[in-house]
Structure 1
């Protein structure tokens, strides 16, 4: 919106056109997202506490987590509000990619809000029934898949693999049904992966921050024909504009981490974790980096795999456990690692995975 305003002043009053630069607007979106999350954060936390929107801790989880019971939850609302306001201020209103990203954040955030609200009302950790949550994720995935497919470009249905220059698959046959199904599965997987990872103070927030950085770089690079050509990447017109939405989310996450770091004064709840996962999946889809997402977000993948392996091993061995507890972060807690140790070491792993993902842009 601000871009439209300054376009008018630049045209009629010969003012500096710095506000038209994507790099400047992206940085400002990050700063605004940070401030919008930070400044009213304490007030929002107090309101959540007064309304008794407290975290319900799993009874079968680590005993050290019982003291977190009652910590204000639904902090994801603060993230979502910050992203929506900051992005609306600095994006180009004609940028369809940013609007799709904001729709994904709001849609998955709403689904998570329903889950959190039911947990609070029922006074236990059981929220929305798993099948209803899955139906909601599928419906959101189909909606976003259709939006992307029917407003796509020449690369939309191609699937690119890391370290390869040319696309490996084209899912555009049968009127795009395979592509829409692929998008739905990816978004469902990414939203659940972040949801499973959100179990320690600051863990999911910090990992999402780390994952957003390489995607911001990728968005800027493939949106420029010269950079994309040099790196043998598909040039997607308008992709650079998506860096504004990405950095708005990054800034909002930094502001939220101020309150979410150990000891957390607020939890994001499913409101935040599902919104994060939906956002990461949508960004990867729009940038044609769907297969790169599991590399850049490698810690999310490890956390999800630990749950899958735990369940399979439990069933195949008649009740034995592969890990002391799943997801993986609880396993290391029960081994004696302090919560901060787990979080910091997982963040380090997240940085390594992000660097590998960036390396894949050049090694092709």
Structure 2
């Protein structure tokens, strides 16, 4: 946007250099970081003056140190969305379909999370119903899946009259480990064409449910992980950095060819959004590391998971999410296993039994006596290892 405004004005020579995506991404990062850092401090101070006006209401889970978290301001995710949106609007091209998809994902899931947090603060601690959240995630996944499949992947402008796709059926993505001359490409049409090649044109039957499943699973996974100071924000920062680097490689025809990744035209603009989000996440960590001075709430955690899912699909790297977002997936799976086993044992033995001391999984380790700061640090180390593993599987 800023490049468009100043492109014909010679006396704005520095701003005209913002045609460099790297420079715009770097400036967007610092702008987002500064805006968020100031806003978080203002919220913390305001909450103290108002005597816990938007303070977190902690449920009694029998965990050490939970009482100290009572009254800590929540809904920090609002600042995440605001600072990221401002930086993206200023420095990115709003004609790029990928940027629009990311902004749409952030705003829709941010609104859902905000409603959930608002209900928790004003009315009851449960917030929105589980089905209400899942339904919103399904609808968002359906929207993103349709845009990704039925709209062009090579046309930068959403204002172009040829925006609707007239291309061959199928949707190609990246399959890790299996190197081929086609840069590790895998087509979703495989799931249907192995039985009948005529069914290839119905690939959307496989692809769109995949988007919905990952969107729902990852958004809830990030939400469930947000139970220890700094955990979700710290893990997400590394995930965003990994996906940002992959998007930079995939947007360049030379780099993508040498490193065996799918070349995706016009992908470089999303790095501005990614760096903006990383900036606000790092500033949030400044106040959220133990002992936390502010929480992101569902406004932030639901949004983070959904944006990561959309970013992965845009990069054609969704099949590596179980590895890259392994902690989010494990946290989610631990809850599912606990609930299913409890119901099964109650039905069979008449009394509900548990596999874990408490779920999500990080609470299990808290119950074992681990300090939440140690859990946070070790999860960060695990996430770094997972990110390096992703590069090994994709590039080598």
For normalisation by structure 2, the TM-score amounts to: 0.86
Correspondence for 2:262 among 234, 237, 241: 234
Aligned residue number for residue 178 of structure 1: 206
Measured in 1, the distance between the counterparts of 2:80 and 2:232 equals: 13
Correspondence for 2:371 among 328, 338, 357: 338
Number of residues of Structure 1 aligned to a counterpart in Structure 2: 361
Residues 22 and 61 (structure 1), Cα distance of their counterparts in 2 relative to 1, 3 Å cut: farther
Contact 1:9–1:15, Cα closer than 8 Å, also in 2: no
Measured in 2, the distance between the counterparts of 1:152 and 1:219 equals: 18
Aligned residue number for residue 128 of structure 1: 128
Aligned residue number for residue 54 of structure 2: 53
Shift of 1:104: 0.5
Contact 1:313–1:322, Cα closer than 8 Å, also in 2: yes
Measured in 1, the distance between the counterparts of 2:96 and 2:338 equals: 43
Contact 2:73–2:293, Cα closer than 8 Å, also in 1: yes
Contact 1:29–1:244, Cα closer than 8 Å, also in 2: yes
Shift of 1:178: 3.1
SS of match in other structure, 2:215: helix
Contact 2:356–2:364, Cα closer than 8 Å, also in 1: yes
1:352 correspondence with 2:351: no
Unaligned segments of structure 2, at least 5 residues: 154-166, 179-183, 192-199, 347-351
Aligned residue number for residue 99 of structure 2: 98
> More deviation in 84-93 or 16-25?
16-25
Residues 19 and 178 (structure 1), Cα distance of their counterparts in 2 relative to 1, 3 Å cut: same
Shift of 1:68: 1.0
1:1-364 matches, within 5 Å, as 1-9=1-9, 18-48=17-47, 50=50, 52-60=53-61, 62-124=63-125, 126-153=126-153, 157-164=171-178, 165-170=184-189, 173-174=201-202, 176-318=204-346, 319-363=352-396
> More deviation in 137-146 or 47-56?
47-56
Contact 1:156–1:288, Cα closer than 8 Å, also in 2: no
- Report which of the two structures shows the higher radius of gyration computed on alpha carbons: 2
Residues 4 and 156 (structure 1), Cα distance of their counterparts in 2 relative to 1, 3 Å cut: farther
Shift of 1:271: 0.2
Measured in 2, the distance between the counterparts of 1:198 and 1:156 equals: 36
SS of match in other structure, 2:58: coil
SS of match in other structure, 1:359: helix
Contact 1:148–1:156, Cα closer than 8 Å, also in 2: no
Measured in 2, the distance between the counterparts of 1:94 and 1:342 equals: 42
Residues 67 and 16 (structure 1), Cα distance of their counterparts in 2 relative to 1, 3 Å cut: closer
Per-residue Cα deviation, 1:95-144 (whole angstroms, up to 9, x for no partner): 211111011111111100111111111242x0101111111111111122
For normalisation by structure 1, the TM-score amounts to: 0.93
Measured in 2, the distance between the counterparts of 1:306 and 1:300 equals: 10
Measured in 2, the distance between the counterparts of 1:103 and 1:203 equals: 25
Measured in 1, the distance between the counterparts of 2:150 and 2:70 equals: 45
* Structure 1 vs Structure 2 CA RMSD: 2.1
Where in structure 1 do 4 or more consecutive aligned residues deviate above 6 Å?
12-16
